[in-house]
């Protein structure tokens, strides 16, 4: 896994799952884009259902195309999951590909998105009822929404850390993004993905997503995160807790309540919140390690699995 924190380039604040009134959103594309632009976002992917919504970019906002597609789940019964196709320029129209408004399965959806020069992420896996094993068997879907703010607000089922951990535990890579899945005003501006790219262009952003050069957030900012053997060292905006996530029974954390339980708090802000910490797991042979930080408002940021000397 490449390390986005040590790469040249700039951090771009991205909305990767956004709907407009072109399908089931409540507001026209121009109003949606303006809301994100005024709030300081850099990139918006418009991902209407089976629809390419094109809008011009502005001086401050790069607007890119994508779509939310459907794929049939195993077992029949008409059950489907949703797949974000980021960076595609058209949706499939061939009835042999798009069967009754859905791909035949997740594998064919992922393969089509890859062949169309896009990147595929499984949307809200918990709410779709997807089993981790189904995802494990599909190499062309690069990752999942580890947090979907819209579903969390609406139904309390926006988190998918458990799904990520099951996939990573199988040995299969799994990148994680955070999204709004916005359909109206209240579910905008709650979650985002910070992408490290050499420039603000469609090609650079899509390639950064493909390579895992990003982290996900619903609040905190991560300035640096690296693995050192069975430890992680994290610098962030002020947070209460820094977690090392890995295989079951080896995940651990430090916090303002337990600053030396499994490592050490290295720096704090004037109020005592953590801005730098080292977290250490007891097991010295961990197949994957990632960082999560949680702020004073219980908002989380998530890295992808970290590289380093481990």
Q: According to the model, what pLDDT value does residue 284 have?
A: 83
Element (H, E) at 22: none
Distance CA 276, CA 221 (A): 12
155 in Cβ contact with 187 (< 8 Å) = no
pLDDT tens, position by position, 171-180 = 999 999 999 9
- Nearest in space to 109 (alpha carbons), one of 68, 148, 166: 68
Cross-sheet strand order for the sheet of 222-228: 222-228, 231-239, 274-280, 263-268
How is residue 70 written in tokens?
Answer: 């459907």
- CA distances for 158 relative to 58, 101, 235, 246, 257, angstroms: 31, 25, 26, 21, 27
Q: According to the model, what pLDDT value does residue 222 have?
A: 98
Distance CA 231, CA 306 (A): 10
- Nearest in space to 277 (alpha carbons), one of 253, 300, 298: 253
**How big is the chain, counted in residues?**
310
Give phi and psi for 177, each to the nearest 5: -120, 160
Distance CA 310, CA 306 (A): 9
Look-up: residue for tokens 């219980």?
298
3-class DSSP state for residue 290? strand
| Structural domain boundaries in the chain | 4-217, 222-302
> What does the radius of gyration of the chain's CA atoms come to, in whole angstroms?
19
Q: According to the model, what pLDDT value does residue 157 have?
A: 93
Q: According to the model, what pLDDT value does residue 310 have?
A: 40
To the question of domain 222-302 being in CATH 2.60.40, the answer is yes
Specify the fold of 4-217: TIM Barrel (3.20.20)
Regions of the chain short of the pLDDT cut 70: 1-2, 95-100, 308-310
Sign of the torsion angle spanned by Cα atoms 192, 299, 176, 71 = negative
pLDDT tens, position by position, 72-131 = 999 878 899 999 999 999 998 876 666 567 999 999 999 999 999 999 999 999 888 899
Q: According to the model, what pLDDT value does residue 276 have?
A: 98
84: CB partners within 8 A, 6+ apart = 16, 17, 45, 47, 66, 67, 68, 69, 120, 121, 122, 123, 145, 179
């Amino acid at each position: 896994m490449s390390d986005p924190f040590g790469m040249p380039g700039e951090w771009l604040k991205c909305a990767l799952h956004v709907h407009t009134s072109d399908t089931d959103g409540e507001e026209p594309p121009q109003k949606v884009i303006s809301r994100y632009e005024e709030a300081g976002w850099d990139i918006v992917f418009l991902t209407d259902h089976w629809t390419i919504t094109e809008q011009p970019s502005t001086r401050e906002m790069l607007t890119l195309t994508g779509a939310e597609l459907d794929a049939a789940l195993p077992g029949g019964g008409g059950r489907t999951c949703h797949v974000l196709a980021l960076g595609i320029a058209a949706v499939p129209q061939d009835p042999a590909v798009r069967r009754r408004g859905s791909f035949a399965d997740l594998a064919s959806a992922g393969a089509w998105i890859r062949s169309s020069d896009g990147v595929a992420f499984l949307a809200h896996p918990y709410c779709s009822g997807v089993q981790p094993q189904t995802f494990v068997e599909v190499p062309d879907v690069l990752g999942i929404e580890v947090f979907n703010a819209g579903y969390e607000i609406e139904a309390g089922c926006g988190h998918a850390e458990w799904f990520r951990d099951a996939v990573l535990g199988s040995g299969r890579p799994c990148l994680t993004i955070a999204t709004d899945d916005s359909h109206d005003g209240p579910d905008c501006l709650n979650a985002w993905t910070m992408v490290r790219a050499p420039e603000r262009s469609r090609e650079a952003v899509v390639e950064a997503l493909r390579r895992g050069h990003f982290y996900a957030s619903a609040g905190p900012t991560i300035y640096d995160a690296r693995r050192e053997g069975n430890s992680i060292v994290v610098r962030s905006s002020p947070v209460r807790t820094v977690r090392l996530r890995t295989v079951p029974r080896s995940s651990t954390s430090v916090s303002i309540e337990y600053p030396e339980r499994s490592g050490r708090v290295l720096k704090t802000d004037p109020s005592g919140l953590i801005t730098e910490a080292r977290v250490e797991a007891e097991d010295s042979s961990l197949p994957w390690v990632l960082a999560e930080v949680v702020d004073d408002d219980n908002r989380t940021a998530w890295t992808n699995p970290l590289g380093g000397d481990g």
